[in-house]
Amino acid sequence: MPSGSKPGERRGGRAKGTPNRRTQEREDATRKAILAIEASLPAPFSGDAHALMVTVYKDTQLPIDLRLDAAKAAIRFEKSPQPTATHVSGADGGTILSSLLVSFVEPDAGA
């Protein structure tokens, strides 16, 4: 009777997606630190970083320099993403235009 696992069969070890002990300890310590910090603050902010930036730049009581910095940081998330350069090439590494032209031009019938 053969021993061992069959091809593709998995035996033992951590289940897929389960963090290892070190990662779990780090995540637990981070959660405890966050809870301790929130408990020590009189009124912690419950939103995320973007909500905080929006709150800052909309607060007319704050200095305009601070409000402008917050607005500059927040605008990246409020407007459509900034376009990025993309290089596109044909199957043989040539440009798409030349690839299209080659595929649409029929060879001479007399040749």
* Mean pLDDT in order along the chain per 10 residues (111 residues): 76 85 92 84 78 88 91 80 66 59 50 51
Contact 49, 43 (CB under 8 A): no
Based on DSSP, count helices (H) and strands (E) in the chain, helices before strands: 4, 0
What stretches of the chain show up as alpha helix (H) in DSSP?
Answer: 21-40, 49-58, 64-78, 96-104
Q: What is the pLDDT of residue 55?
A: 87
Write down the pLDDT at residue 101: 45
pLDDT at position 88 is: 67
Q: In this structure, is the dihedral angle defined by the CA atoms of residues 106, 108, 109 and 111, taken in order, positive or negative?
A: negative
Do the beta carbons of residue 31 and residue 24 sit within 8 Å? no
State pTM to two decimals.
0.37
- pLDDT at 44 (0 to 100): 72
Query: Residues in the chain, how many?
Result: 111
